[in-house]
Structure 1
Amino acid sequence: MVKIFDVAQIKKIDGCTVVNQGVTSVDLMERASLAVSEKLIRVLDINQPVLVFAGMGNNGGDALAVARILLSKHYKLDVYIVAPDDRFSDDCRENKERLERLTNVSIIKEKKDIPHIYPDCIVIDGLFGSGLNRPLDGVFLNVVEAINSSNNKVYSIDMPSGLFVEDNLNNNQEGIIRAEKVFTFQFPKLSLLLPDSGDYCKKMIVLDIGLCDKCINEEHTDLYFTEKADVATLPLSRGAFSHKGTYGKALIIAGSYGKIGAAVLSARACLRTGVGLLTMHVPRCGVDILQTAVPEAMVDADEFSENVSKVELDVNSFTVGIGPGIGTGDKAKYLLHDLFDRYHKPMVIDADALNLIAEDDVLRSKIPPKSILTPHPVEFDRLSGAVSKNGYERLKRARDFARSHDVYIILKGACTAVVTPEGKVFFNSTGNPGMATGGSGDVLTGMITSLLAQGYFPQNAAILGVYLHGLSGDLAAKSKSQQGMLPTDMIEYIGKAYRALK
C-alpha cells in the first residue's frame, strides 16, 4: 500500500532522506525535477510554446529546474517568477541562478507584469506546492486567476497551486489552479483524492523520486492508496477438488415493484465474482424476471407481491447482502429489524437499507459488527445525521462512524474510500466517470457479498471488491466508452478484471 502523509510528515521524510542518503536538498530537488521533466517530455509538443510560472519557495525551485531541463531539450519556454519581494528559498535561488545562465527570466511583482497567455500555450504551474497553508492573495491570486481564465492546459508540479494538502474548507476556491494533470511527488496527497478537488486535478500522477524507504516505513499513517500490487495477492486460489459448497452461500435481499433490475444486477455481479450458491429474496413480482434473467440463481419469493417484508429462510446459513431497490416502506423496515435480530455475522448493507437505518436509531444500534456499508456521499450524510461541508469532513465522520459502530464504510466516489473499524482508510485507484450511472452500486453490492460469502475477511472483501469493481468499469469503458458503458457491461468484465490481476 502506498502511504499518504500530512504536510509535516512529508517535510520530515524529505529531511530524513537528505541525511540518510547523503544528498543535499537541492540535489533532491533536481531528482524531483528530472522525474517531472521525463513525464512532461512525453506529453509536450516540442514546437508548442510553454509558459512556466514559478514561485519563490521550493515548488518554484522545482519549476525553474524543470524549465532548465526542458530548455536543454530545445523546448520553447518563457519563464516567469512571481516575486513581489526577494524572499526566495535557498534552493529556489540556486535554481534561479542556474536558469539565468541559460535564458532570460521575467519577474512578476504586481498585476500589470502578468503576461498575456496565448491560447496555444501550455502552462507549467510551480507557484506553490504541498507546504501552502493559507489562501492565496495579492499578485499570486492575480496570476492564478489569469491562468484559469485563459482555459489553457495546465500541468502542476506536486500540487495545483493554491490547494491545501488536507482540508480546503476555508480556502479561496477562486485562488486554486485548475490543472489538467498534477505530477505529485512520491505519495498521493489527501486533498487530490477527495471529490472537492475534481475541478483542480483531472488526473494525478505520482512520481517516485527515491525518498528514503526506511524513513517512509517508520512513519505512521492510517491513510493508504491501493494499487494493483496490493490486491494481486488477495484472490483466493481454487482447489482441484473443490465444489460449489466450497465457495459459499450468499443471500441477497433486493428489489421491489419497478426496481427488480437492481436485484438482477446484484445477482449477476455476485455470481460473476465467484460465489458457489446464490439465493435471491425478492417480492413475488420479481420471481419470473429473476428466473429468466439469472437462471444460475435460486429465488426465494416474499409473501407480498410488490415489496419484501420478511425472510423465512435460516439466514445464518448464508452470507447476506441487503438493500438494492427494496424501498423504504414499513415492510422493508420490518424486514430489516427482523434480520438484525436474527443475523449477527458481517453482512453487506446498501442503498435503501442504509436509508432505513438513517431514519431509525434502533436499527443503527443493531448493525451486525464488522458489516460492510456502501453509501454514496448523500446516503452517508443521512446515515451520520449531518450534511458534511466538504469531502474532508465527510471522511472524518466516516472514520468516526466506522469506529463507533464497529463497521466498514465504503464511501463511494471517484477514489472510493474503504474505511475500517480501526479508522484506517484505503483509497481506490481504479474506476472512471462512466461508472456514474444507476445500477453501478447494485453491482458493487453483489460483488462484495460474493467475496464475503467465499470466506474473505471483511477488510479484504471490501478492498478487493472495490478494486475489481473499478477495474471492471475501466475495462468496460475501454471497450464501450465512458458514455456508452452500462452496469451490465461492467459485470461482463469481472472475469477479465480477475485475470488482469495475475
Structure 2
Amino acid sequence: MKIFSAAQVREADAYTIEHLPITSLQLMEKAAIQCTQWLETRYSQGYSFHIFCGAGNNGGDGLAITRLLRQLGYEATAYLLQYTDQFSTDNRANQAALHSQETAAIITLQPGDKFPALPEHAILVDAIFGTGMSRPLLGFLAETVQQLNALKDRYTIVSIDLPSGMLADESTKDLLSVQAHHTLSFEVYKLAFLLPENASRTGEVHILPIGLHKDYITQTPTRYELADTALIQSIYKPRQPFSHKGTYGHVLLIAGSYGKLGAAVLSAQACLHAGVGLLTVYVPEAGYNIIQLAAPAAMCLVDDNPQQSVQFHEAVTADGAGKYKTIAIGPGLGTSGDTARAFKKLLQRYRSPMVIDADALNILAAEKQLLDLVPPHSLLTPHPKEFERLFGPSANDVERLEKLAAAARERQLYILLKGRYTAIAGPDGAVYFNATGNAGMATGGSGDVLTGILAGILAQGYAPKDAMVLGAWLHGLAGDLGAAASSQEALLASDMVQYIGKAYQEIAGYATLQHPSKNL
C-alpha cells in the first residue's frame, strides 16, 4: 500500500473529481458515510456523539457525519469552532444541510466560551483539522485540543483523517495534537501513522475506502510504501518440483560465544525453517555439541578458541568462504579485539551480500571505517540504538527515516530498522514499512530469529530487497501466530521459529493466483 504525502492526498482528490463523475461535496459525503458506518457498527444508540468541527473540509466531514448519525437515530451534536469566518465551500454546504435538518444540531464555540458539558456515555469526534494542517495549534484551537485531551481517560476520542494538530509528513513530536483512541483515515496510510512518536496520539488506525481514482493511486510514485499482502504475493516464490538442496543455497552462519550460544541456535533454526538448502554454523568449540543437538540438519564448524568465535580459520576467511551463497554474522558473537580483526578480514575477502546483525553491527559502530568494506547490497538489521551508534542520533522519527534512506543510498546497502513498523531502506532511496508483528516480539532472541530468516531467504536466490521485505513480513507473521496461540506476554523467540512454517502457509495462500502450480 502506497503512503501518500499530504500534497498527494490533495492531488488524488482533485484527480478523482476531474476524472470521475463526482463533485468534491459528493466525495466528502462518501467519506462521511464510511465514518458513520464505522461508528454505527461499534457504538449502540445509547451513546451520544459530540463532533468538534473546524472551518475546512475536515470540519465538513464532521458536519456530514453529524447529519448522518442523526438520520440513524443517534443523538449527535456538532460544535463549530469559530476561529475564523473563512469556511470552505463544502463546509458551508454541510452547515446548511445540517441546519435544514434541525438547527439545534450545531452549536458554535467561540474563544472564551465554556467547554460543553458532556453526558456519561459520550463519544468525542475530532474533525477540526486533517491532512491540510501545516502549522502549530495556537490560542483558542490549542485550548480546545487541550480540553479534549484532558477528557481522554473518561471518553473515547475518534479523529477523522488525522488527529488535529498532527502533521502528515513531518514530526509533531514537540507539537500539541489530539490524543485519539481511534483515527479514521481514507484510502491510504499517512507517514504520521507509522512513527513511534505518534503512537499515543493516533491510537488504532483504520483506513476506509472512499473511491479515489485507481489510476492516480497506481501511477503515482511514492517514497514510502507499507508492505501488504499484494506486495508479498508478488515476491513469494514457491519451491519447484524438480529442485534439490543446492537450488536453495548454502548459508554460513557465524554466531555465538560462551554464554550466548542460544543466539546461534535460534538463528540456525530460523534459517533452516526459512527454507535454506544447506546451513553451516560456525561457533566456538564450546558450541559444537549444542549446535549438533539443537540443529541436526545443520553442519558445524568450530573455532580453534574454545570460548570465543574469534579466529575464523582459513575455511571461512580465505577462498573457502566463496562456496557460500551468503554469510550471516553477529548473533551472540561478542566484540573482542580478536573478533573485530577477524571480521575485518572476512569483509576484505567476501564480496557477496551478507546479513549483518547484533555484535557484528556493534563492531562496525566501534570501527566505522569497516563500513566501507561491507559488500554492496548487504543486509544490515539494527534496532534504533544500534542504528544511532552507526549513523548518529536523530532529533525525531522523521529525521531518523531521512538518515536511514541516506545511509542506504550512499553506501548501497539494505538497512532494516527494527520497530513496530520495521522500516526497510535500499540503494534506490525507497522505504518500505512492515505491517506484521506485535509487542510480544520485544523479547530476547527475536532479532536472532530474523537474522536466520533473512539469510535463509537471501540464499534461495531472492533479490536483497525482496529478501528484506519478505523476511520481515514472515518474521512478524510468525510472531503474530505465536502470540495468538498463547499471548504476547508469553511469546518466546523459539515460538517464532516454530511458527515460520505456518506463516509460510499463509503466504502461500496469498500467492495462489500468482503461482497456481504451488500445490503440485
Q: TM-score, normalised by structure 2?
A: 0.93
Q: Contact conserved, 1:375 with 1:410, CA < 8 A, in 2?
A: yes
Verify: 1:346 aligned to 2:347, yes or no.
no
Residues 39-50 of structure 1 aligned to structure 2 (within 5 Å): 39-50=38-49
Verify: 1:434 aligned to 2:433, yes or no.
no
Q: Contact conserved, 2:166 with 2:172, CA < 8 A, in 1?
A: no
Verify: 1:163 aligned to 2:166, yes or no.
yes
- Please name the residue that 2:513 is paired with: none
The number of aligned residues is 498
Among candidates 477, 492, 500, match of residue 483 of structure 2 = 477
- Please name the residue that 1:8 is paired with: 7
Residues 221-240 of structure 1 aligned to structure 2 (within 5 Å): 221-240=222-241
Runs (4+) of structure 1 exceeding 4 A deviation are none
Q: Contact conserved, 2:436 with 2:480, CA < 8 A, in 1?
A: yes
C-alpha displacement of 1:171: 4.5
Verify: 1:360 aligned to 2:367, yes or no.
yes
One-letter code of the match for 1:22?
P
Among candidates 398, 421, 425, match of residue 404 of structure 2 = 398
- Please name the residue that 1:466 is paired with: 472
- Please name the residue that 1:202 is paired with: 203
- Please name the residue that 2:516 is paired with: none
- Please name the residue that 1:278 is paired with: 279
C-alpha displacement of 1:334: 1.3
C-alpha displacement of 1:262: 1.0
Verify: 1:378 aligned to 2:385, yes or no.
yes
What does the per-residue CA deviation read over 1:403-435, in whole Å, with 9 as the maximum and x for residues that have no partner?
A: 110000111111111101110011111111111
Give me the identity figure in percent: 42
Q: Contact conserved, 2:46 with 2:121, CA < 8 A, in 1?
A: no
Residues 135-214 of structure 1 aligned to structure 2 (within 5 Å): 135-150=136-151, 151=153, 152-168=155-171, 171-172=174-175, 175-214=176-215
Q: Contact conserved, 1:280 with 1:298, CA < 8 A, in 2?
A: yes
> For 1:457 and 1:246, how far apart are their aligned partners in 2?
15
Residues 69-148 of structure 1 aligned to structure 2 (within 5 Å): 69-103=68-102, 104=104, 105-118=106-119, 120-148=121-149
What does the per-residue CA deviation read over 1:455-486, in whole Å, with 9 as the maximum and x for residues that have no partner?
A: 11101100000111111111111111111211
Q: More deviation in 374-383 or 119-128?
A: 119-128
Q: Contact conserved, 2:34 with 2:208, CA < 8 A, in 1?
A: yes
One-letter code of the match for 1:167?
E
Residues 48-67 of structure 1 aligned to structure 2 (within 5 Å): 48-67=47-66
C-alpha displacement of 1:79: 2.2
Q: More deviation in 196-205 or 126-135?
A: 196-205
> For 1:180 and 1:479, how far apart are their aligned partners in 2?
26
- Please name the residue that 2:263 is paired with: 262
> For 1:143 and 1:399, how far apart are their aligned partners in 2?
37
Among candidates 327, 333, 357, match of residue 334 of structure 2 = 327
What does the per-residue CA deviation read over 1:185-221, in whole Å, with 9 as the maximum and x for residues that have no partner?
A: 1110011111111111232222221111222233222
One-letter code of the match for 1:481?
S
One-letter code of the match for 1:398?
L
> For 2:330 and 2:44, how far apart are their aligned partners in 1?
51
Q: Contact conserved, 2:368 with 2:390, CA < 8 A, in 1?
A: no
What does the per-residue CA deviation read over 1:263-297, in whole Å, with 9 as the maximum and x for residues that have no partner?
A: 11111111111111111111122222222222222
Q: More deviation in 204-213 or 375-384?
A: 204-213
> For 2:501 and 2:40, how far apart are their aligned partners in 1?
36
- Please name the residue that 1:30 is paired with: 29
> For 1:177 and 1:119, how far apart are their aligned partners in 2?
20
When the two chains are superposed, the root-mean-square deviation of aligned CA atoms in Å is: 1.5
- Please name the residue that 2:462 is paired with: 456
Task: Report SS of the residue matched to 2:203.
Answer: strand
Q: Contact conserved, 2:49 with 2:122, CA < 8 A, in 1?
A: yes
> For 1:299 and 1:71, how far apart are their aligned partners in 2?
70
> For 2:309 and 2:180, how far apart are their aligned partners in 1?
48
One-letter code of the match for 2:367?
D
C-alpha displacement of 1:399: 0.6
Q: Contact conserved, 1:111 with 1:142, CA < 8 A, in 2?
A: no
C-alpha displacement of 1:178: 1.3
Gaps of 5+ in 1: none
Verify: 1:494 aligned to 2:500, yes or no.
yes
> For 1:119 and 1:140, how far apart are their aligned partners in 2?
24
C-alpha displacement of 1:118: 4.8
Q: Sort the Cα spacing of 1:22 and 1:282 in 2 relative to 1 into closer, same or farther, 3 A.
A: same
What does the per-residue CA deviation read over 1:340-366, in whole Å, with 9 as the maximum and x for residues that have no partner?
A: 011000111111111111121321100
> For 1:77 and 1:404, how far apart are their aligned partners in 2?
54
Q: Contact conserved, 2:173 with 2:198, CA < 8 A, in 1?
A: no
> For 1:471 and 1:40, how far apart are their aligned partners in 2?
29
Q: Contact conserved, 2:440 with 2:489, CA < 8 A, in 1?
A: yes
> For 2:22 and 2:234, how far apart are their aligned partners in 1?
36
C-alpha displacement of 1:240: 2.1
C-alpha displacement of 1:170: 7.0
Q: Sort the Cα spacing of 1:68 and 1:228 in 2 relative to 1 into closer, same or farther, 3 A.
A: same
Residues 295-334 of structure 1 aligned to structure 2 (within 5 Å): 295-312=296-313, 313=315, 314-318=320-324, 319-334=326-341
> For 1:226 and 1:52, how far apart are their aligned partners in 2?
33
C-alpha displacement of 1:394: 0.5
Q: More deviation in 99-108 or 111-120?
A: 111-120
Task: Report SS of the residue matched to 1:199.
Answer: helix
> For 2:114 and 2:83, how far apart are their aligned partners in 1?
11
One-letter code of the match for 2:145?
V
